[in-house]
Structure 1
Amino acid sequence: MELFRKEDKMSSLIGANYNLLPVINRFGIRLGFKEKSINEVCTENKIHTDFFLAIVNTYTDESYFPEAELLSFSPLLIIEYLKNTHRYYIEYVLPKIERLLNKVIESCTEDCSSLKMINSFYQKYKAELLIHLKLEDEKVFPYIINLYKEKTLNSDGSSIEVLENEHTNVEVKLSDLKNLIIRHLSPNYEDNTMNEFLTALFQFENDLNDHARIEDHILIVQVMEFEKELGK
């Protein structure tokens, strides 16, 4: 897929990939672009255009991941985007998935044991994901912000590596949930409702994987290198 450029119209970005709608919302951009270019809209909204393009192109093309370019951006810029993404997951995606799952369960008329198992698995996954996001919002991100603000290592020996070791692999468990549904679910549900629920899981999995790539391969790498510099 051809990558978006500064000169492209912002409206053409949505026309080419409507899945970018929630991504641009995380930057505080709302609809009503008229004929403005991506660069014009970003400038009006005080958004770093090159960073915006790197993110939307990463979400558009799975084979595109400009590590060198992303590593050149301020970690504080990346954190702001990641925090907005967390808010989107907590306030919109997870409630939406749960509503859809409840609709699927309500559509079951007999022997709903497998759906109850799916619901139990999802509730455990959601609880673990919320812990994961809370850890980042309340410990990892503040640690990074303070590190770059004070430009000194913490005296208590804490580091990004120590904090990251507290992470759980939420991406793998979401894939497990999706595969459990596809392979082992009893066919006691309304098809369209199930399709809507499963589609939401697929979309969330894709978004979460891109989110994790930005965190693990960009932000954490940047911070580890900065810690090394401060430790010299």
Structure 2
Amino acid sequence: MSQITLHSLVSDIVTAVPQTADLFRKLRIDFCCVGKVELEQASRNLNLDPMQVLSEVLNIEQKQKGYAENQPATERSEKELITHIQQKHHAYLRDELPQLTPYITKLARVHGEKHPHLLRVQEIYTSLKRELLDHTEDEDQVVFPRIINFVNDPTSEAAKALEPHVLELENEHESAGDLLKELREITHDFEPPADACGTYRLVYQRLALLEKDTFEHIHLENNVLFEKVRAAM
């Protein structure tokens, strides 16, 4: 059961479920400068229905829990692993990457002069976003269907056709991993400065979550799914 109620502070809600910042931003509920206010009062201040806002918050919380739960066992079949990857990791990336973009842009614009590394954070994030979205699209439309076809009919011809695609995905995983490693390095392990504003802290928190999910995603493909496929070749 959720611990979030109408009496939860807006700032605490965003800390617990960072993606709720997107909802508050849309509703013009300030979670940054004046976030130490209960959700009910923050909603009423803007003539919003508190129960409706709470319902939307809880839906976001439940959605994020769905991404994080049900880690797949290595005993799952290739088809089951693919379904899990698509429903957990691909869905998360397609939700999170576009929604995090305006915060990255704002952070670089407002604080980039004083903290120049944030301009590099924006550059890395832009590249990472493009690579990951293109990567997941290629997996869904090209590579995963080829894997399923190979599993259903494991001929030498199908294996030969599939192998270059798997190698390409592994190379792309390495590239994404390098970008994430640089992000961690220049943000000092995603630790914001002591005087950081709410947006600054939110971006670092969500980048850390993005890193965690992406490395789990890469591990699941490189070390579980692709190993199963190669074992059948």
What's the counterpart of residue 37 of structure 1?
Answer: none
Q: CA deviation at 1:151?
A: 3.6
Q: CA deviation at 1:101?
A: 0.9
1:140–1:163 Cα contact (<8 Å) kept: yes
**What is the Cα-based RMSD across aligned positions, in Å?**
3.3
1:172 to 1:85, Cα distance in 2 relative to 1, 3 A: farther
1:147–1:153 Cα contact (<8 Å) kept: no
76, 79, 82: which one aligns with 2:79: 76
141, 147, 152: which one aligns with 2:150: 147
What's the counterpart of residue 224 of structure 1?
Answer: 230
Q: For residues 80-122 of structure 1, what are the alpha-carbon distances to aligned partners after superposition, in whole Å with 9 as ceiling and x for unaligned?
A: 1111234423431112321221231343384575433321222
Distance 2:116 2:132 in 1: 24
| TM score, norm. by length of structure 1 | 0.61
The residue type paired with residue 204 of structure 1 is: L
Distance 2:110 2:120 in 1: 15
What's the counterpart of residue 166 of structure 1?
Answer: 168
1:200 to 1:105, Cα distance in 2 relative to 1, 3 A: same
What's the counterpart of residue 38 of structure 1?
Answer: none
Q: CA deviation at 1:126?
A: 1.7
1:136 to 1:218, Cα distance in 2 relative to 1, 3 A: same
Indicate the SS of the match to 1:205.
Answer: helix
Identity fraction in percent: 22
1:125–1:173 Cα contact (<8 Å) kept: yes
193, 197, 204: which one aligns with 1:191: 197
The residue type paired with residue 78 of structure 2 is: P
What's the counterpart of residue 96 of structure 1?
Answer: 99
1:144–1:223 Cα contact (<8 Å) kept: yes
The residue type paired with residue 179 of structure 2 is: K
What's the counterpart of residue 121 of structure 1?
Answer: 124
The residue type paired with residue 177 of structure 1 is: L
What's the counterpart of residue 25 of structure 1?
Answer: 66
Gaps of 5+ in 2: 3-15, 18-60
1:175 to 1:120, Cα distance in 2 relative to 1, 3 A: same
Indicate the SS of the match to 1:182.
Answer: coil
1:54 to 1:118, Cα distance in 2 relative to 1, 3 A: closer
1:78–1:219 Cα contact (<8 Å) kept: yes
138, 142, 146: which one aligns with 2:141: 138
Indicate the SS of the match to 2:138.
Answer: helix
Length, aligned pairs only: 171
Gaps of 5+ in 1: 1-10, 13-17, 28-51, 56-69, 228-232
What's the counterpart of residue 49 of structure 1?
Answer: none
